[in-house]
Amino acid sequence: MLAYHAQTMHTYRSVRTKSHSIDWDHPPKQFKIYPETFTRIPLDKSNLEHRFFYLIGGITAQKSYPGVTYALRTNPSAGALYPTEIYVQIRDVVGFENGIYHLSPFETSLVLVYPFTEDEGIENFLHVKRISGYVFLFSTLYYRSSWKYKDRAFRYCLHDTGHMLGALEASCVLSQKRYRIVYDLDKKGLNTLLGFSQEEFFLSAAIVGEEDETFTCKAPTLQLPSVNGTGFFEANAPVEEVYDATCELVPKQQVAMPVFNVDQERFTQAIWKRRSIRDFTQKPISKEQFLEVMHFITQPIPSDCDVDIEMYAIINRVEGMEQGVWKEGVYLQSGDFAKKAGYLCLEQALGEESGVTFFLLGNDAQNYQAMVQKAGIIGHRLYLISTYLGFGCSGIGAYYDEEVMAFLQRDSMVLYALAIGY
Ligand SMILES: Cc1cc2nc3c(=O)[nH]c(=O)nc-3n(C[C@H](O)[C@H](O)[C@H](O)COP(=O)(O)O)c2cc1C
């Protein structure tokens, strides 16, 4: 197991004894805004190519509490803190100047941070030749999350970025675009290129375009200003250390594309309406719905580092299925484990009152960044298929790690939990 993962486990004792000093006076800013001098392309939702971008992290609702307003997005985020930022290189697409853009959800705009010449491009950092189309880059401003979650924040930054990759996948499904995820990129080189200091770093990329293998691009020479995306910043050594320690990976290609047989209009609505469920009515879902969910979330994810994820389903309320712990069509334990599932999710009712509570596990410490992001992509698929089928989902990043492992009798790392149901 990766030492960082072991060191950031929640235990019954740790959540009661660790004094969490959250600096309530300095909540991080939720948006990174480039100076006004940079050219903007406002995104027009009625333009299909603009809508493609809008659905990747765009704002779809507002929620206000005394003193704070959250801009809710197409992607969920642990604590609604939204650490993920998106940059995209655009080349040879009608209506866009070739260059590198920042996708700004606050301004509903693409901000041109660097227009480039014909032979320039970031392709070398991804070990590919010239791409016509889009190359997305996903970074994290980790203080937005470590402000609240301290050392465990790196996990949430990876989940959140996985969800953003899932949002990209869903937008590609609607636009009938092919995509592939790249984890094996020169992250440190890109961090320097984009002018990041220690608070922001790249985690992954996605190619949505065609490669011309006869043309090698040369790296652009950017001179970007450093833009403060969090306001206040406090370094977290364990987060920065684990990022450094896990940037390298062992490639494991997956070239198969997923097949999603969805009604386009209904799927569009699911993307716009997706929200985290707060309470379950405890009405059961049907066996057919459960099997449709499993079919949807187990479709291949094309990437250069496709790590195996073990998916355990605690069947609490599924009509036509007995209760128990289910994995790949087989019951590992039979019985009513609803209360246990709620307890394992740090005593959150969501885990107990769901139709099904999922635990995603993995044991590939060498590919930690790719593995936890993949758990986030699967989580995003779970949200969308649940919304599509008329019920709901919630991600659950807080659970008693070792107790989940003991319950499932597995030695793997517990990566993520999610609950679905009515
Ligand atoms: C990685 C992750 C972990 C989360 N953990 C929890 C959790 O433990 N409990 C909970 O009630 N919600 C959890 N959520 C849901 C977020 O609170 C929710 O996404 C956020 O408030 C934004 O709301 P929305 O999803 O309705 O847009 C989690 C979401 C993500 C992506």
pLDDT at 149 (0 to 100) = 95
pLDDT at 222 (0 to 100) = 83
For residue 131, the CA-to-ligand 1 centroid distance in Å is 35
Look at ligand 1, atom 19, and give the residue with the nearest C-alpha: 76
Look at ligand 1, atom 29, and give the residue with the nearest C-alpha: 78
Residue 251 tokens read as: 């490639």
Long-range contacts formed by 73-77: CB under 8 A, 24+ apart: 73/105, 74/167, 74/170, 74/271, 74/272, 74/274, 75/160, 75/163, 75/164, 75/166, 75/167, 75/380, 76/163, 76/274, 76/276, 76/380, 76/383, 76/394, 76/395, 77/160, 77/163
pLDDT at 376 (0 to 100) = 98
For residue 399, the CA-to-ligand 1 centroid distance in Å is 13
Radius of gyration for the chain, computed over Cα atoms and rounded to the nearest angstrom: 21
Task: Confirm or reject: Cβ of 156 under 6 Å from ligand 1.
Answer: yes
Task: Confirm or reject: Cβ of 71 under 6 Å from ligand 1.
Answer: no
pLDDT at 24 (0 to 100) = 84
Q: Are 144 and 81 in contact (CB under 8 A)?
A: yes
Predicted confidence band at 416 (pLDDT cuts at 50, 70, 90)? very high
- The DSSP bridge partners found for residue 144 are none
Q: What Cα–Cα distance (Å) separates residue 210 from each residue in 91, 92, 112, 303, 359?
A: 10, 10, 22, 15, 36
Q: For 17-30, what is the mean pLDDT?
A: 83
Give all domains of the chain, ordered by start, each with its CATH number.
25-245 (3.40.109.10), 269-421 (3.40.109.10)
pLDDT at 160 (0 to 100) = 98
Distance between CA atoms of residues 235 and 241, nearest Å: 11
Q: For 317-331, what is the mean pLDDT?
A: 97
Q: For 378-392, what is the mean pLDDT?
A: 98
Could you count the other beta carbons within 10 Å of the beta carbon of residue 83? 32
pLDDT at 16 (0 to 100) = 86
254: left (phi over 0), alpha (psi -120 to 50) or beta: beta
Residue 177 tokens read as: 């675009």
Determine the 3-state secondary structure of 396 from DSSP.
Answer: strand
For residue 99, the CA-to-ligand 1 centroid distance in Å is 34
Q: Which residue has the higher pLDDT, 17 or 240?
A: 240
H-only helix segments in 94-183: 143-149, 153-175
For residue 75, the CA-to-ligand 1 centroid distance in Å is 10
Q: Are 83 and 157 in contact (CB under 8 A)?
A: yes
Task: Confirm or reject: Cβ of 380 under 6 Å from ligand 1.
Answer: no
Task: Confirm or reject: Cβ of 387 under 6 Å from ligand 1.
Answer: no
Task: Confirm or reject: Cβ of 166 under 6 Å from ligand 1.
Answer: no
Distance between CA atoms of residues 356 and 144, nearest Å: 30
Amino acid sitting at position 114: Y
Could you count the other beta carbons within 10 Å of the beta carbon of residue 414? 25
For residue 129, the CA-to-ligand 1 centroid distance in Å is 38
For residue 76, the CA-to-ligand 1 centroid distance in Å is 6
pLDDT at 65 (0 to 100) = 80
